[in-house]
Structures are given as C-alpha cells and as structure tokens.
Amino acid sequence: MTIPQNRCVSVFTRLLSLAFVVALAVSTESARATAEDLSPLEHLGKQIFFDKNLSNPVGQACASCHAPEVGFTGPDSEINLKTGIYPGAAPGRYGNRKPPSAAYAAFSPKREFDQKEETWAGGQFWDGRMDDLVAQAKGPFLNPLEMNNASAADVVAKVRESNYRGLFEKVYGAKALNAADADEAFDLMARAIAAYESSREVNSFSSKYDAFLARETTLTAQELRGLALFAGKANCTACHPHQAAADGTPPLFTDFTYDNVGAPRNAGNPFYRADPAVNPDGAKYRDLGLGGFLNDKTQHGKVKVPTLRNVAKKPHPQFVKSYLHNGTFKSLKDVVRFYNRRDKTPDAFDPPDVEENVNREELGKLGLTDAEEDDVVAFLETLSDGFVAPQPAATEPEFPAIAPSASTRGDHFKGARDVIRVVRFRRVVEEASRSSDTRQR
C-alpha cells in the first residue's frame, strides 16, 4: 500500500524526535513515566491505539498485535507458539510476518542508503517500506489482512461515534472530525498514534539494565557475564548496540540497519496456505524483506535489525513469545543457539528461507559454550521495561571488562554503524529545530 508523503507530517515526526531528545537530556529521572504524564495528544493516541471498534468487523485494535505487557508485540501465547503470525480482523486472513515491537520504533530514522557503509538504515516495518510512524499508522486500518476498513472515511466515522470524540475535538479543534475531506482527520488520527508511540509511557527506558547504567542497581554474576559476551565474544552489539549514543540517547539495541541472519522458514506460517490472490507463490513463498520491497537482489533476505528491548518481557514464565521476522523461534535460547551454531552444526537447523546475502561474518559460529548461551539469555532478560529495584545497591556497580570481539568486521562496524545512527539523529534534531516555526497547523 502506498501512502503519499506529506511534508507537514514528516516535520511533525521530526519534532517528536526532537522533543524526545530534549526530554531525555533534561532529565533521566523523568524517563520513568506513568500514564498521568501523557499529554492530551498522546492520551488521544493511546485511546485510538487500544480501541477495538476501529476494525471491520469490530474486535481488533493496534494493541491486539502490539500489547504493552509483552513489550508492544503479539500478546497471545498460543498464537506465538503455533504460528507466530497474527490473524486479521476478517476471519481466516493472515499477514506474512510477526508483529515487531511498536515501542522504540519512534527512534528509527527515515530509511536511507549510506554510501560509505554500503548499508540501508532506518524506516518502519521489517522491510523499511514506510518512512515514519505517521505513515505507518495509517496502514493497518486499511490493510485487508489487518483491521480491514474499506476507507479512511469509515475509520473516521467510527472515531466520531467513540467516547473520546470530545478529546479529539479538544486536541484538534471542534471541526476536526467533520471536515469534508476524511483524509485530513485520518491523518490527525495517525499523528496522535505516533505521538503516543513516541511517548515516555511507551518508551520508558525502565529496564534493569537502564537502572544498572544509572548505577541504581547491580546485575547478577550471570547477567554480567552475559553482558560481557554480548558486547564481546558473541558480537551482538555489532548490530544491537548496548551503549548510549554520543547525543545521550540511551542504548536502543538496534542500529536500524538491515541484515539476513539466515532465518529458517517458519512452516507454521499460515501465509503459505493463503488465498492465491494474496500469496500467488503458495508454499514456495520466500520473504525477500528489504530486497523484495526495493526489487534489489543485493538486499534479498535482509530485514531491519529489531530492538532487543523487551524481547524477554512476558506476563508469566510459561508464556511463549516468537522471534525473528517470521516468528520461527519460540525462545531466546533457540535464537542464541542459532546465532552460535548455525554454521558449526548446520544440520541441526532448517536451511535459510533466503539463501542470498546470509551474514556469515558476524554471526553463525560464535564458539559459545552451552552455559555461555544461557548467560547471553540472562542478559537479554535484563532488558524488560518496568523493573523496580528491590533495594538500593549496597556497593558502587562496576562496568565489566569486555573481551575483544571475535569478528574483525564486527569491530569495524561497532564504531562505524553507531556513528551512522548518531549522525542521523543529530541531523533530524537540527532539521526539526530549523523548521520549528512551520510546526503549528
């Protein structure tokens, strides 16, 4: 689905990022946000995000596939286990991919190719086909495989009937929902959603690891070993940076670049059996990711590096989450084992869905022991938001010594890729401040 770019919209999103950076710079304490901290615009976005009446038939909200208790991804343990892919509002319809986290997505810059690093970075969705959260938020309402509304006018009509109509009019003006052009009101809805997704409630930076960085708590011995491996021998930080950026942005655990980690097919993906009108390739379907969207063979199989914040967040220990863009793995241990042994014991894994461009330099043969795999998982478990320190730390926590990375290319990228992101972020902030006089509608 193509949605025309609206200049005003992108300025708005940049301003959101600007507000974010400023807010974070001003106070790290305020990063622990609660619902009362939402602005009226963010609050409106939240109402829309959780409203199950905005689908056809009714019953599906954004939150049905992006729920806070699991880190704004899919909240149904059984679906995660069986398919990893969520049904749409209309019976029997499925998309082709797992819902990524809608939290921390606000930080993804517009997708751009970096000539020097020869890599794409930024954008929304696994394949980066949308520029920003405002453009993204319009997609699900009209996508027949998701919320399945016939038109923007239909969605706006439902908001007109909602119990937050008053809030909408307070935020955007008394006539906002009655304009002859429904696209305008639809656009305002998308902006409110983007504001909520950019809020500190959604991006709370409140994990145990954040508390550790703020020297408010200590990590266990195992978590510390996991961190040292993550940033060293296991080379995870080459794509999932664990350190704050130079501009003060706390670590996002993604550099928003694209890679093919060689994800095996997910045989449970219902998309293989979808109507030929939706999936003409049937069981032979391959998800080409960014390469499919760009129609560029050199990018086949590459998808955007997801944040690792909240990867372990779940309502109870037995709850199952699915991982990778097609939901093929069902535990973090499985993911880490795959990264560690993919090229050492290839027979233990199904072949990659897309053979081209599999990254064999930075992952696949990490040489971790079974216990070290567990240590990395223990570290990933410190990235769940909502951590409450049991007691003030007795001793001053220390950052562990980090062993040099196993991969030389990883070393190279560790600095360079981080730099791309920081430079981009600065540019966004500068542009936003330059155009701030055009901000008011």
The minimum distance between CB 434 and ligand HEC, in angstroms, equals 26
Compute CA 369 distance to the chain's CA centroid, rounded to the nearest angstrom. 29
In the complex, which residues of this chain contact ligand HEC (CB under 6 A)? 60, 62, 64-66, 86, 88, 95, 97, 99-100, 102, 105, 124-127, 133, 136-137, 140-141, 146-147, 193, 197, 234-236, 238-240, 259, 261, 263, 303, 305-306, 308, 311, 323-325, 332, 335-336, 339, 359, 362-363, 376
Measure the N-to-C terminal CA separation of the chain; round to a whole number of Å: 27
In the three-class reduction of DSSP (H, G, I as helix; E, B as strand; rest coil), residue 197 is classed as helix
The minimum distance between CB 232 and ligand HEC, in angstroms, equals 10
158 phi/psi in degrees, rounded to 5: -70, -40
Pick the closer one to ligand HEC by CB: 171 or 194: 194
Pick the closer one to ligand HEC by CB: 274 or 336: 336
Contacts of 170 (CB under 8 A, 6+ apart): 40
Pick the closer one to ligand HEC by CB: 32 or 93: 93
Compute CA 102 distance to the chain's CA centroid, rounded to the nearest angstrom. 5
Pick the closer one to ligand HEC by CB: 122 or 250: 122
Largest Cα–Cα separation, the chain: 64
Contact 76, 99 (CB under 8 A): no
The minimum distance between CB 325 and ligand HEC, in angstroms, equals 3
Contact 104, 24 (CB under 8 A): no
Pick the closer one to ligand HEC by CB: 25 or 403: 403
Pick the closer one to ligand HEC by CB: 216 or 268: 268
Pick the closer one to ligand HEC by CB: 64 or 249: 64
The minimum distance between CB 201 and ligand HEC, in angstroms, equals 14
Tokens of 176: 């906002």
Pick the closer one to ligand HEC by CB: 164 or 435: 164
The minimum distance between CB 278 and ligand HEC, in angstroms, equals 13
Contact 182, 141 (CB under 8 A): no
Tell me how far apart the alpha carbons of residues 269 and 324 are, in angstroms, rounded to a whole number.
12
The minimum distance between CB 97 and ligand HEC, in angstroms, equals 4
Pick the closer one to ligand HEC by CB: 56 or 217: 56
In the three-class reduction of DSSP (H, G, I as helix; E, B as strand; rest coil), residue 205 is classed as coil
Tell me how far apart the alpha carbons of residues 85 and 125 are, in angstroms, rounded to a whole number.
15
In the three-class reduction of DSSP (H, G, I as helix; E, B as strand; rest coil), residue 292 is classed as helix
What residue has token string 């009019």?
Answer: 169
Pseudo-torsion of CA 161, 41, 169, 432, nearest 10°? -130
Pick the closer one to ligand HEC by CB: 234 or 274: 234
Tell me how far apart the alpha carbons of residues 85 and 266 are, in angstroms, rounded to a whole number.
10
Alpha carbon separation from 282 to 83, 277, 295, 297 (Å, rounded): 16, 10, 20, 21
The minimum distance between CB 217 and ligand HEC, in angstroms, equals 22
Tell me how far apart the alpha carbons of residues 105 and 159 are, in angstroms, rounded to a whole number.
25
The minimum distance between CB 261 and ligand HEC, in angstroms, equals 4
The minimum distance between CB 390 and ligand HEC, in angstroms, equals 26
The minimum distance between CB 233 and ligand HEC, in angstroms, equals 9
Give residue 238's identity as a one-letter amino acid code: A
